[in-house]
Structure 1
Amino acid sequence: MNPNKALWEKGDFTKIAATMRNSGRALIDSLGVGPGMAVLDLGCGDGTTAVPAAELGADVLGIDIASNLVAAGNARAAEAGLGNLRFQEGDASDLAGIDDDRFDVVVSMFGAMFAPRPADVAREMVRVTKPGGRIVMGNWIPGDPTLVAQILKISAAYTPPPPEGFISPVSWGIAANVVERFGAAGIAPGDIVCEPATYVFRYPGPPAGLLGAFRCYYGPTMNAFAAAQGNGKADDLHNELAALFAVQNTGSGDDTVIPATFLKVTVRKPAAEIP
Protein backbone atom coordinates (compact mmCIF):
# COMPACT_ATOMS: atom_id res chain seq x y z
CA MET A 1 0.00 0.00 0.00
CA ASN A 2 1.03 3.60 -0.63
CA PRO A 3 2.70 4.55 2.70
CA ASN A 4 0.91 7.90 2.76
CA LYS A 5 -2.43 6.16 2.32
CA ALA A 6 -1.53 3.69 5.05
CA LEU A 7 -0.60 6.54 7.41
CA TRP A 8 -3.95 8.33 7.11
CA GLU A 9 -6.06 5.18 7.10
CA LYS A 10 -4.23 3.94 10.20
CA GLY A 11 -6.29 5.99 12.65
CA ASP A 12 -9.53 7.92 12.49
CA PHE A 13 -8.73 11.54 11.74
CA THR A 14 -12.40 12.47 12.09
CA LYS A 15 -11.81 12.46 15.87
CA ILE A 16 -9.13 15.14 15.44
CA ALA A 17 -11.06 17.05 12.78
CA ALA A 18 -13.95 17.48 15.19
CA THR A 19 -11.72 19.75 17.29
CA MET A 20 -10.91 21.94 14.26
CA ARG A 21 -14.40 22.70 12.90
CA ASN A 22 -14.66 26.32 14.07
CA SER A 23 -11.34 27.30 12.50
CA GLY A 24 -12.23 25.51 9.27
CA ARG A 25 -15.45 27.46 8.98
CA ALA A 26 -13.70 30.76 9.79
CA LEU A 27 -11.13 30.13 7.08
CA ILE A 28 -13.78 29.46 4.44
CA ASP A 29 -15.74 32.54 5.53
CA SER A 30 -12.59 34.62 4.98
CA LEU A 31 -12.20 33.44 1.36
CA GLY A 32 -15.43 34.86 -0.03
CA VAL A 33 -16.67 31.46 -1.17
CA GLY A 34 -20.22 31.53 -2.49
CA PRO A 35 -22.80 30.27 -5.00
CA GLY A 36 -21.58 29.59 -8.50
CA MET A 37 -17.98 28.91 -7.42
CA ALA A 38 -16.22 25.60 -7.96
CA VAL A 39 -14.06 24.58 -4.98
CA LEU A 40 -11.61 21.72 -4.56
CA ASP A 41 -10.64 20.69 -1.03
CA LEU A 42 -7.46 18.66 -1.36
CA GLY A 43 -6.52 16.36 1.50
CA CYS A 44 -9.97 17.17 2.79
CA GLY A 45 -10.41 14.62 5.57
CA ASP A 46 -14.11 14.38 6.35
CA GLY A 47 -14.83 17.96 5.29
CA THR A 48 -13.63 20.46 7.89
CA THR A 49 -13.40 23.10 5.15
CA ALA A 50 -15.39 21.34 2.41
CA VAL A 51 -18.65 21.27 4.36
CA PRO A 52 -18.75 24.99 5.18
CA ALA A 53 -17.80 25.84 1.59
CA ALA A 54 -20.76 23.80 0.34
CA GLU A 55 -23.05 25.35 2.93
CA LEU A 56 -22.17 28.73 1.41
CA GLY A 57 -23.46 27.48 -1.94
CA ALA A 58 -20.27 26.51 -3.77
CA ASP A 59 -19.99 23.33 -5.84
CA VAL A 60 -17.39 21.42 -3.81
CA LEU A 61 -15.27 18.35 -4.50
CA GLY A 62 -13.25 16.87 -1.65
CA ILE A 63 -10.31 14.60 -2.47
CA ASP A 64 -8.42 12.55 0.11
CA ILE A 65 -6.09 9.58 -0.09
CA ALA A 66 -7.77 7.80 2.84
CA SER A 67 -10.84 5.79 1.86
CA ASN A 68 -12.24 5.86 5.40
CA LEU A 69 -12.17 9.68 5.44
CA VAL A 70 -13.81 9.84 2.00
CA ALA A 71 -16.61 7.62 3.28
CA ALA A 72 -16.98 9.76 6.41
CA GLY A 73 -17.12 12.93 4.28
CA ASN A 74 -19.81 11.55 1.99
CA ALA A 75 -21.80 10.52 5.06
CA ARG A 76 -21.54 14.06 6.46
CA ALA A 77 -22.64 15.54 3.13
CA ALA A 78 -25.63 13.22 2.93
CA GLU A 79 -26.64 13.91 6.52
CA ALA A 80 -26.48 17.66 5.88
CA GLY A 81 -28.41 17.36 2.61
CA LEU A 82 -25.57 18.91 0.64
CA GLY A 83 -26.09 17.73 -2.94
CA ASN A 84 -23.41 20.20 -4.06
CA LEU A 85 -20.68 18.36 -2.12
CA ARG A 86 -19.05 15.02 -2.86
CA PHE A 87 -15.88 13.28 -1.77
CA GLN A 88 -13.65 10.92 -3.71
CA GLU A 89 -10.37 9.13 -3.21
CA GLY A 90 -7.30 10.59 -4.90
CA ASP A 91 -3.63 11.53 -4.59
CA ALA A 92 -2.59 15.20 -4.41
CA SER A 93 0.57 14.31 -6.33
CA ASP A 94 -1.45 13.07 -9.30
CA LEU A 95 -5.01 14.37 -9.72
CA ALA A 96 -5.84 11.91 -12.48
CA GLY A 97 -9.22 12.51 -14.06
CA ILE A 98 -9.51 16.12 -12.89
CA ASP A 99 -9.75 18.58 -15.79
CA ASP A 100 -7.40 21.51 -16.25
CA ASP A 101 -8.64 24.97 -15.19
CA ARG A 102 -11.65 23.57 -13.32
CA PHE A 103 -11.76 25.26 -9.90
CA ASP A 104 -12.12 28.85 -8.75
CA VAL A 105 -10.53 27.98 -5.40
CA VAL A 106 -8.31 25.06 -4.40
CA VAL A 107 -8.01 24.68 -0.62
CA SER A 108 -5.69 22.36 1.25
CA MET A 109 -5.48 22.75 5.00
CA PHE A 110 -2.77 20.46 6.39
CA GLY A 111 -3.55 17.91 3.69
CA ALA A 112 -1.50 18.22 0.49
CA MET A 113 1.57 19.04 2.57
CA PHE A 114 1.75 15.35 3.56
CA ALA A 115 1.68 14.04 -0.02
CA PRO A 116 4.94 12.83 -1.53
CA ARG A 117 6.60 14.64 -4.43
CA PRO A 118 5.85 18.26 -3.42
CA ALA A 119 6.82 19.62 -6.84
CA ASP A 120 4.12 17.43 -8.39
CA VAL A 121 1.62 18.61 -5.76
CA ALA A 122 2.26 22.26 -6.63
CA ARG A 123 2.02 21.56 -10.35
CA GLU A 124 -1.26 19.67 -9.99
CA MET A 125 -2.85 22.36 -7.83
CA VAL A 126 -1.93 25.01 -10.38
CA ARG A 127 -3.13 22.85 -13.27
CA VAL A 128 -6.65 22.36 -11.92
CA THR A 129 -7.13 25.99 -10.85
CA LYS A 130 -8.91 28.33 -13.24
CA PRO A 131 -6.96 31.29 -14.65
CA GLY A 132 -7.54 34.09 -12.16
CA GLY A 133 -8.38 31.55 -9.44
CA ARG A 134 -6.72 30.98 -6.09
CA ILE A 135 -4.92 28.26 -4.19
CA VAL A 136 -4.98 28.45 -0.40
CA MET A 137 -2.80 26.12 1.67
CA GLY A 138 -2.32 25.73 5.40
CA ASN A 139 1.04 24.16 6.28
CA TRP A 140 2.58 23.40 9.66
CA ILE A 141 5.88 25.20 10.24
CA PRO A 142 9.04 23.26 11.16
CA GLY A 143 10.32 24.14 14.60
CA ASP A 144 7.35 26.34 15.45
CA PRO A 145 6.75 26.32 19.22
CA THR A 146 2.99 25.72 18.95
CA LEU A 147 1.08 22.46 19.18
CA VAL A 148 1.16 20.51 15.93
CA ALA A 149 4.70 21.40 14.87
CA GLN A 150 5.87 20.22 18.28
CA ILE A 151 3.77 17.04 18.11
CA LEU A 152 5.40 16.19 14.79
CA LYS A 153 8.88 17.08 16.11
CA ILE A 154 8.50 15.02 19.28
CA SER A 155 6.93 12.10 17.39
CA ALA A 156 9.78 12.08 14.87
CA ALA A 157 12.31 11.70 17.68
CA TYR A 158 10.69 8.39 18.69
CA THR A 159 10.17 7.07 15.15
CA PRO A 160 12.73 5.24 12.97
CA PRO A 161 14.46 7.45 10.38
CA PRO A 162 12.49 7.93 7.16
CA PRO A 163 13.62 6.26 3.94
CA GLU A 164 16.29 7.85 1.78
CA GLY A 165 14.87 10.62 -0.38
CA PHE A 166 12.02 11.40 2.00
CA ILE A 167 10.98 15.06 1.94
CA SER A 168 9.52 16.25 5.23
CA PRO A 169 5.90 17.47 5.04
CA VAL A 170 6.78 20.48 7.17
CA SER A 171 9.14 21.67 4.45
CA TRP A 172 5.91 23.17 3.04
CA GLY A 173 5.96 25.47 6.06
CA ILE A 174 9.04 27.31 4.76
CA ALA A 175 8.14 30.26 2.51
CA ALA A 176 11.20 29.87 0.28
CA ASN A 177 10.21 26.28 -0.53
CA VAL A 178 6.66 27.36 -1.33
CA VAL A 179 7.89 30.03 -3.74
CA GLU A 180 10.31 27.59 -5.38
CA ARG A 181 7.68 24.86 -5.83
CA PHE A 182 4.98 27.09 -7.23
CA GLY A 183 7.57 28.94 -9.29
CA ALA A 184 8.44 25.67 -11.00
CA ALA A 185 4.72 25.33 -11.73
CA GLY A 186 4.65 28.69 -13.51
CA ILE A 187 3.62 31.08 -10.72
CA ALA A 188 5.55 34.33 -10.30
CA PRO A 189 6.76 35.21 -6.78
CA GLY A 190 4.52 38.29 -6.79
CA ASP A 191 1.48 36.03 -7.02
CA ILE A 192 2.42 34.08 -3.88
CA VAL A 193 1.72 35.35 -0.37
CA CYS A 194 2.95 33.52 2.73
CA GLU A 195 1.87 34.69 6.17
CA PRO A 196 1.47 33.21 9.65
CA ALA A 197 -2.05 32.37 10.77
CA THR A 198 -3.69 30.38 13.56
CA TYR A 199 -5.89 27.31 13.78
CA VAL A 200 -7.50 26.57 17.12
CA PHE A 201 -8.14 23.10 18.53
CA ARG A 202 -11.18 22.98 20.83
CA TYR A 203 -11.83 19.90 22.92
CA PRO A 204 -14.65 19.46 25.47
CA GLY A 205 -12.46 18.07 28.19
CA PRO A 206 -8.98 18.32 29.76
CA PRO A 207 -5.75 18.40 27.72
CA ALA A 208 -5.16 14.74 28.56
CA GLY A 209 -8.31 13.90 26.62
CA LEU A 210 -7.12 15.72 23.52
CA LEU A 211 -3.76 13.99 23.81
CA GLY A 212 -5.63 10.68 24.00
CA ALA A 213 -7.35 11.50 20.71
CA PHE A 214 -4.01 12.22 19.04
CA ARG A 215 -2.49 9.05 20.50
CA CYS A 216 -5.33 6.84 19.29
CA TYR A 217 -6.38 8.48 16.01
CA TYR A 218 -3.58 10.64 14.49
CA GLY A 219 -1.33 8.61 12.19
CA PRO A 220 2.05 10.23 12.97
CA THR A 221 1.47 10.00 16.73
CA MET A 222 0.20 6.43 16.45
CA ASN A 223 3.37 5.44 14.60
CA ALA A 224 5.53 7.14 17.23
CA PHE A 225 3.82 5.29 20.09
CA ALA A 226 4.09 1.97 18.25
CA ALA A 227 7.83 2.50 17.84
CA ALA A 228 8.25 3.75 21.42
CA GLN A 229 6.43 0.74 22.84
CA GLY A 230 8.83 -1.48 20.94
CA ASN A 231 11.86 0.00 22.68
CA GLY A 232 10.39 0.70 26.10
CA LYS A 233 10.03 4.47 25.67
CA ALA A 234 6.24 4.82 25.44
CA ASP A 235 6.01 6.42 28.89
CA ASP A 236 8.69 8.94 27.96
CA LEU A 237 6.81 9.88 24.80
CA HIS A 238 3.51 10.16 26.66
CA ASN A 239 5.00 12.34 29.39
CA GLU A 240 6.68 14.64 26.86
CA LEU A 241 3.45 15.10 24.93
CA ALA A 242 1.35 15.50 28.09
CA ALA A 243 3.57 18.35 29.22
CA LEU A 244 3.24 19.95 25.78
CA PHE A 245 -0.57 19.76 25.74
CA ALA A 246 -0.82 21.11 29.29
CA VAL A 247 1.41 24.13 28.72
CA GLN A 248 -0.20 24.97 25.36
CA ASN A 249 -3.75 24.94 26.73
CA THR A 250 -5.35 28.39 26.96
CA GLY A 251 -8.80 27.11 27.93
CA SER A 252 -10.54 27.54 31.25
CA GLY A 253 -12.50 25.09 33.32
CA ASP A 254 -12.80 21.63 31.80
CA ASP A 255 -12.41 22.72 28.17
CA THR A 256 -9.16 22.60 26.21
CA VAL A 257 -8.37 25.38 23.75
CA ILE A 258 -4.99 25.24 22.00
CA PRO A 259 -3.99 27.63 19.19
CA ALA A 260 -1.50 26.39 16.61
CA THR A 261 0.43 28.60 14.21
CA PHE A 262 0.69 27.64 10.55
CA LEU A 263 1.91 29.15 7.29
CA LYS A 264 -1.04 30.35 5.23
CA VAL A 265 -0.17 30.31 1.54
CA THR A 266 -2.26 32.16 -1.03
CA VAL A 267 -1.43 31.68 -4.69
CA ARG A 268 -3.17 33.50 -7.51
CA LYS A 269 -3.04 31.88 -10.92
CA PRO A 270 -2.65 34.53 -13.61
CA ALA A 271 -5.76 35.28 -15.62
CA ALA A 272 -5.85 34.05 -19.20
CA GLU A 273 -4.59 36.54 -21.71
CA ILE A 274 -7.19 37.88 -24.12
CA PRO A 275 -5.97 37.37 -27.70
Structure 2
Amino acid sequence: MEQSTGLLQQANPNKQLWEKGDFTQIAATMRESGEALVARLGITEGLEVLDLGCGDGTTAIPAAEAGAQVLGVDIASNLVKAGNLRVKNKGLTNCFFQEGDASNLYELRDASFDRVVSIFGAMFAPKPMDVAKEMVRVTRKGGKIVMGNWIPGDPTLVAQILKISSAYTPPPPEGFISPMLWGVESHVTERFGNAGIPKENISFSRETFNFSGDFSPSALVERFKTYYGPTMNAFESAGKNGNAAALQEELELLFNSQNQSGSATKTFIPATFLLVTVTV
Protein backbone atom coordinates (compact mmCIF):
# COMPACT_ATOMS: atom_id res chain seq x y z
CA MET A 1 0.00 0.00 0.00
CA GLU A 2 1.37 3.37 -0.98
CA GLN A 3 2.13 5.66 1.95
CA SER A 4 3.33 8.95 0.53
CA THR A 5 3.24 12.40 2.07
CA GLY A 6 -0.05 13.00 0.31
CA LEU A 7 0.61 16.50 -1.03
CA LEU A 8 -2.31 17.71 -3.06
CA GLN A 9 -1.79 18.12 -6.76
CA GLN A 10 -4.11 21.11 -6.82
CA ALA A 11 -6.15 23.10 -4.34
CA ASN A 12 -9.56 21.80 -3.34
CA PRO A 13 -12.05 24.51 -2.34
CA ASN A 14 -13.25 22.31 0.53
CA LYS A 15 -9.84 22.22 2.18
CA GLN A 16 -10.31 25.56 3.92
CA LEU A 17 -13.81 24.60 5.07
CA TRP A 18 -12.77 21.35 6.77
CA GLU A 19 -9.55 22.75 8.22
CA LYS A 20 -11.41 25.75 9.62
CA GLY A 21 -12.75 24.06 12.72
CA ASP A 22 -11.89 20.82 14.45
CA PHE A 23 -14.13 17.99 13.31
CA THR A 24 -12.58 15.67 15.90
CA GLN A 25 -14.87 17.38 18.43
CA ILE A 26 -17.90 16.21 16.45
CA ALA A 27 -16.44 12.82 15.56
CA ALA A 28 -15.98 12.05 19.26
CA THR A 29 -19.78 11.86 19.56
CA MET A 30 -20.03 9.40 16.62
CA ARG A 31 -17.53 6.67 17.58
CA GLU A 32 -19.96 3.95 18.65
CA SER A 33 -21.94 4.18 15.41
CA GLY A 34 -18.70 4.08 13.41
CA GLU A 35 -17.64 0.88 15.13
CA ALA A 36 -21.09 -0.68 14.68
CA LEU A 37 -21.15 0.13 10.96
CA VAL A 38 -17.69 -1.31 10.33
CA ALA A 39 -18.68 -4.49 12.16
CA ARG A 40 -21.41 -5.01 9.53
CA LEU A 41 -19.20 -4.48 6.48
CA GLY A 42 -17.42 -7.83 6.52
CA ILE A 43 -13.99 -6.27 6.96
CA THR A 44 -11.52 -8.97 7.95
CA GLU A 45 -7.81 -9.56 8.33
CA GLY A 46 -5.90 -9.27 5.07
CA LEU A 47 -8.29 -6.96 3.25
CA GLU A 48 -6.91 -3.68 1.95
CA VAL A 49 -9.25 -0.80 2.77
CA LEU A 50 -9.33 2.82 1.66
CA ASP A 51 -11.31 5.17 3.90
CA LEU A 52 -11.99 8.26 1.82
CA GLY A 53 -12.81 11.48 3.65
CA CYS A 54 -11.78 9.59 6.76
CA GLY A 55 -11.66 12.46 9.25
CA ASP A 56 -9.67 11.28 12.26
CA GLY A 57 -10.65 7.65 11.83
CA THR A 58 -14.20 7.02 13.03
CA THR A 59 -14.46 4.11 10.58
CA ALA A 60 -10.81 3.69 9.51
CA ILE A 61 -9.57 2.76 12.97
CA PRO A 62 -12.28 0.13 13.65
CA ALA A 63 -11.47 -1.37 10.22
CA ALA A 64 -7.81 -1.59 11.22
CA GLU A 65 -8.75 -3.10 14.57
CA ALA A 66 -10.64 -5.77 12.59
CA GLY A 67 -7.32 -6.69 10.96
CA ALA A 68 -7.48 -4.90 7.62
CA GLN A 69 -4.67 -2.85 6.12
CA VAL A 70 -6.19 0.63 6.09
CA LEU A 71 -5.26 3.85 4.32
CA GLY A 72 -7.24 6.92 5.36
CA VAL A 73 -7.33 9.89 2.97
CA ASP A 74 -8.75 13.29 3.90
CA ILE A 75 -8.60 16.81 2.45
CA ALA A 76 -7.93 18.39 5.88
CA SER A 77 -4.34 18.25 7.12
CA ASN A 78 -5.41 18.75 10.75
CA LEU A 79 -7.65 15.67 10.60
CA VAL A 80 -4.91 13.60 8.96
CA LYS A 81 -2.57 14.59 11.80
CA ALA A 82 -5.22 13.79 14.41
CA GLY A 83 -5.92 10.41 12.80
CA ASN A 84 -2.26 9.41 12.75
CA LEU A 85 -1.99 10.43 16.41
CA ARG A 86 -4.97 8.23 17.31
CA VAL A 87 -3.37 5.34 15.41
CA LYS A 88 -0.10 5.82 17.27
CA ASN A 89 -1.83 6.02 20.64
CA LYS A 90 -3.68 2.78 19.91
CA GLY A 91 -0.48 1.03 18.86
CA LEU A 92 -1.81 0.13 15.42
CA THR A 93 0.73 -0.59 12.67
CA ASN A 94 -1.78 -1.40 9.92
CA CYS A 95 -3.39 2.03 9.52
CA PHE A 96 -2.02 5.23 8.00
CA PHE A 97 -3.58 8.60 7.16
CA GLN A 98 -2.54 10.96 4.38
CA GLU A 99 -3.82 14.11 2.75
CA GLY A 100 -5.67 13.78 -0.56
CA ASP A 101 -8.55 14.87 -2.76
CA ALA A 102 -11.40 12.40 -3.37
CA SER A 103 -11.95 13.78 -6.86
CA ASN A 104 -8.32 13.17 -7.86
CA LEU A 105 -6.59 10.26 -6.13
CA TYR A 106 -3.57 10.58 -8.39
CA GLU A 107 -1.24 8.98 -5.84
CA LEU A 108 -3.19 5.73 -5.64
CA ARG A 109 -2.77 2.92 -8.15
CA ASP A 110 -5.63 1.30 -10.06
CA ALA A 111 -7.32 -1.69 -8.39
CA SER A 112 -5.48 -1.23 -5.08
CA PHE A 113 -8.25 -1.88 -2.55
CA ASP A 114 -10.75 -4.59 -1.65
CA ARG A 115 -13.00 -2.05 0.05
CA VAL A 116 -13.39 1.69 -0.48
CA VAL A 117 -15.35 3.20 2.40
CA SER A 118 -16.55 6.79 2.65
CA ILE A 119 -18.91 7.70 5.47
CA PHE A 120 -20.00 11.35 5.22
CA GLY A 121 -16.69 12.12 3.53
CA ALA A 122 -16.45 11.93 -0.27
CA MET A 123 -20.01 13.27 -0.54
CA PHE A 124 -18.62 16.73 0.29
CA ALA A 125 -15.92 16.69 -2.39
CA PRO A 126 -16.47 18.77 -5.54
CA LYS A 127 -16.76 17.11 -8.95
CA PRO A 128 -18.98 14.16 -7.93
CA MET A 129 -18.63 12.42 -11.30
CA ASP A 130 -14.86 12.42 -10.81
CA VAL A 131 -15.27 11.17 -7.24
CA ALA A 132 -17.28 8.16 -8.44
CA LYS A 133 -14.75 7.40 -11.19
CA GLU A 134 -11.86 7.58 -8.77
CA MET A 135 -13.54 5.29 -6.23
CA VAL A 136 -14.24 2.74 -8.96
CA ARG A 137 -10.72 3.05 -10.39
CA VAL A 138 -8.92 2.22 -7.14
CA THR A 139 -11.23 -0.69 -6.25
CA ARG A 140 -10.28 -4.23 -7.26
CA LYS A 141 -12.59 -6.27 -9.46
CA GLY A 142 -15.08 -7.97 -7.16
CA GLY A 143 -14.40 -5.43 -4.43
CA LYS A 144 -16.96 -3.12 -2.88
CA ILE A 145 -17.48 0.59 -2.40
CA VAL A 146 -19.51 1.62 0.64
CA MET A 147 -20.73 5.19 1.07
CA GLY A 148 -22.75 6.78 3.84
CA ASN A 149 -24.45 9.97 2.63
CA TRP A 150 -26.79 12.42 4.31
CA ILE A 151 -30.22 12.71 2.66
CA PRO A 152 -31.61 16.05 1.45
CA GLY A 153 -34.80 17.11 3.18
CA ASP A 154 -34.55 14.33 5.75
CA PRO A 155 -36.13 15.44 9.04
CA THR A 156 -33.31 14.09 11.22
CA LEU A 157 -30.35 15.98 12.65
CA VAL A 158 -27.58 16.50 10.10
CA ALA A 159 -29.76 17.19 7.06
CA GLN A 160 -31.59 19.77 9.15
CA ILE A 161 -28.37 21.35 10.46
CA LEU A 162 -27.16 21.80 6.88
CA LYS A 163 -30.56 23.08 5.74
CA ILE A 164 -30.78 25.63 8.56
CA SER A 165 -27.15 26.70 8.09
CA SER A 166 -27.60 27.26 4.36
CA ALA A 167 -30.48 29.66 5.04
CA TYR A 168 -28.06 31.97 6.89
CA THR A 169 -25.18 31.86 4.40
CA PRO A 170 -24.77 33.54 1.00
CA PRO A 171 -25.87 31.51 -2.02
CA PRO A 172 -23.21 29.14 -3.37
CA PRO A 173 -21.16 30.09 -6.44
CA GLU A 174 -22.47 29.36 -9.91
CA GLY A 175 -21.95 25.75 -10.87
CA PHE A 176 -21.97 24.51 -7.28
CA ILE A 177 -23.31 20.96 -6.94
CA SER A 178 -24.89 20.24 -3.58
CA PRO A 179 -23.20 17.42 -1.66
CA MET A 180 -26.68 16.36 -0.52
CA LEU A 181 -27.37 14.94 -3.99
CA TRP A 182 -25.24 11.97 -2.94
CA GLY A 183 -28.21 11.14 -0.73
CA VAL A 184 -30.52 10.77 -3.77
CA GLU A 185 -30.54 7.26 -5.25
CA SER A 186 -31.01 8.36 -8.86
CA HIS A 187 -27.96 10.67 -8.67
CA VAL A 188 -25.83 7.95 -7.10
CA THR A 189 -26.87 5.48 -9.81
CA GLU A 190 -26.07 8.02 -12.53
CA ARG A 191 -22.65 8.83 -11.10
CA PHE A 192 -21.54 5.25 -10.72
CA GLY A 193 -23.14 4.37 -14.06
CA ASN A 194 -20.97 7.03 -15.65
CA ALA A 195 -18.01 5.23 -14.05
CA GLY A 196 -19.01 1.95 -15.67
CA ILE A 197 -21.05 0.33 -12.88
CA PRO A 198 -24.38 -1.25 -13.92
CA LYS A 199 -27.34 -0.28 -11.75
CA GLU A 200 -27.89 -3.87 -10.62
CA ASN A 201 -24.51 -3.65 -8.86
CA ILE A 202 -25.70 -0.76 -6.68
CA SER A 203 -27.88 -1.24 -3.61
CA PHE A 204 -29.32 1.19 -1.09
CA SER A 205 -30.64 1.11 2.46
CA ARG A 206 -31.53 3.74 5.03
CA GLU A 207 -29.50 3.48 8.21
CA THR A 208 -28.88 5.49 11.37
CA PHE A 209 -25.82 7.15 12.87
CA ASN A 210 -26.11 8.33 16.46
CA PHE A 211 -24.63 11.42 18.10
CA SER A 212 -24.19 10.80 21.82
CA GLY A 213 -22.45 12.21 24.85
CA ASP A 214 -22.69 12.91 28.55
CA PHE A 215 -23.63 16.52 27.95
CA SER A 216 -26.75 18.46 27.01
CA PRO A 217 -28.03 18.95 23.47
CA SER A 218 -27.23 22.64 23.89
CA ALA A 219 -23.59 21.69 24.54
CA LEU A 220 -23.62 19.74 21.27
CA VAL A 221 -24.95 22.86 19.52
CA GLU A 222 -21.91 24.69 20.88
CA ARG A 223 -19.61 22.03 19.45
CA PHE A 224 -21.13 22.46 16.01
CA LYS A 225 -21.03 26.25 16.36
CA THR A 226 -17.36 26.21 17.39
CA TYR A 227 -15.87 23.32 15.43
CA TYR A 228 -18.02 22.32 12.40
CA GLY A 229 -17.10 24.29 9.28
CA PRO A 230 -20.57 24.73 7.72
CA THR A 231 -22.10 25.81 11.04
CA MET A 232 -19.17 28.11 11.77
CA ASN A 233 -19.69 29.81 8.40
CA ALA A 234 -23.41 30.14 9.07
CA PHE A 235 -22.80 31.89 12.40
CA GLU A 236 -20.24 34.21 10.83
CA SER A 237 -22.70 35.24 8.12
CA ALA A 238 -25.61 35.47 10.56
CA GLY A 239 -23.54 37.65 12.87
CA LYS A 240 -22.87 40.14 10.10
CA ASN A 241 -26.60 40.41 9.44
CA GLY A 242 -27.68 40.52 13.07
CA ASN A 243 -29.25 37.07 12.82
CA ALA A 244 -26.94 35.03 15.05
CA ALA A 245 -29.49 34.81 17.86
CA ALA A 246 -32.14 33.48 15.45
CA LEU A 247 -29.74 30.83 14.14
CA GLN A 248 -28.82 29.84 17.68
CA GLU A 249 -32.50 29.53 18.58
CA GLU A 250 -33.27 27.35 15.55
CA LEU A 251 -30.42 24.97 16.29
CA GLU A 252 -31.22 24.78 20.00
CA LEU A 253 -34.81 23.84 19.15
CA LEU A 254 -33.66 21.25 16.63
CA PHE A 255 -31.14 19.54 18.91
CA ASN A 256 -33.38 19.51 21.98
CA SER A 257 -36.44 18.29 20.09
CA GLN A 258 -34.50 15.38 18.58
CA ASN A 259 -32.73 14.31 21.76
CA GLN A 260 -33.84 10.78 22.67
CA SER A 261 -31.67 10.31 25.75
CA GLY A 262 -34.52 10.90 28.16
CA SER A 263 -32.37 13.40 30.05
CA ALA A 264 -31.74 17.10 29.60
CA THR A 265 -28.09 16.57 30.60
CA LYS A 266 -27.32 13.75 28.14
CA THR A 267 -27.50 13.60 24.36
CA PHE A 268 -28.55 10.76 22.09
CA ILE A 269 -29.69 11.95 18.67
CA PRO A 270 -30.12 9.56 15.73
CA ALA A 271 -29.60 10.80 12.17
CA THR A 272 -30.77 8.93 9.09
CA PHE A 273 -28.44 8.43 6.13
CA LEU A 274 -28.36 6.58 2.80
CA LEU A 275 -26.02 3.58 2.83
CA VAL A 276 -24.77 2.87 -0.70
CA THR A 277 -23.10 -0.43 -1.59
CA VAL A 278 -21.45 -0.83 -4.99
CA THR A 279 -19.93 -4.05 -6.31
CA VAL A 280 -17.16 -3.34 -8.81
* Secondary structure at 1:60 match in 2: strand
2:142 to 132, 141, 145: 132
The count of corresponding residues between Structure 1 and Structure 2 is 269
Deviation, 1:204, is: 1.3
- Aligned partners of 2:145 and 2:277 also within 8 Å: yes
Contact 2:208 2:273 in 1 (8 A): yes
Which letter does structure 1 place at the counterpart of 2:50? L
CA contact (8 A) 2:12 2:101 kept: no
Superposed CA RMSD: 0.6
Q: Distance in 2 between matches of 1:238 and 1:42?
A: 32
Q: Does 1:179 align with 2:186?
A: no
Q: Tell me which residue corresponds to 1:232.
A: 242
TM-score with structure 1 length normalisation?
0.97
The reply on whether 1:144 has 2:148 as its aligned counterpart is no
The C-alpha deviation readout for 1:150-187, integer Å capped at 9, x for no partner, is 00000000000000000000010000000000000000
1:261 paired to 2:267: no
Measure the CA separation in 2 of the matches of 1:182 and 1:206.
40
Query: Tell me, what secondary structure is at the counterpart of 1:19?
Result: coil
AA of the residue aligned to 1:255: K
1:203 and 1:211 map into 2 onto residues whose CA distance is 12
3-state DSSP of counterpart to 2:211: strand
1:243 aligned partner: 253
Cα distance between partner residues in 2 of 1:167 and 1:235:
29
Equivalent residues in 2 for 1:1-275, closer than 5 Å: 2-253=12-263, 254-269=265-280
Q: For 2:276 and 2:213, how far apart are their aligned partners in 1? A: 26
CA displacement 1:219-255 (0-9 Å, x = unmatched): 0000000000000000000000100000000002321
Which amino acid in structure 2 is aligned with residue 3 of structure 1?
P
For residues 183-214 of structure 1, give each alpha carbon's deviation from its aligned partner in whole angstroms, at most 9, with x where no partner exists: 00000000000111100011211100111100
Paired residues of 2:53 and 2:75 also in contact (CA < 8 A)? yes
1:2-55 deviations in whole A, cap 9, x for unaligned? Answer: 320000000000000000000000110001111100000000000000000000
Deviations 1:58-84 (A, max 9, x none): 000000000000000000000101110
Amino acid at match of 2:28: A
Residue 273 (structure 1) aligns with: none
Q: Secondary structure at the match of 2:73?
A: strand
Moved over 3 A (4+): none
Indicate the SS of the match to 2:29: helix
Secondary structure in 2 aligned to 1:44?
coil
Aligned partner letter, 2:183: G
Gaps of 5+ in 1: 270-275
Provide the TM-score with structure 2 as the length reference.
0.95
Task: Give the counterpart letter for 2:276 in structure 1.
Answer: V
Alignment-mate amino acid for residue 268 of structure 1: T
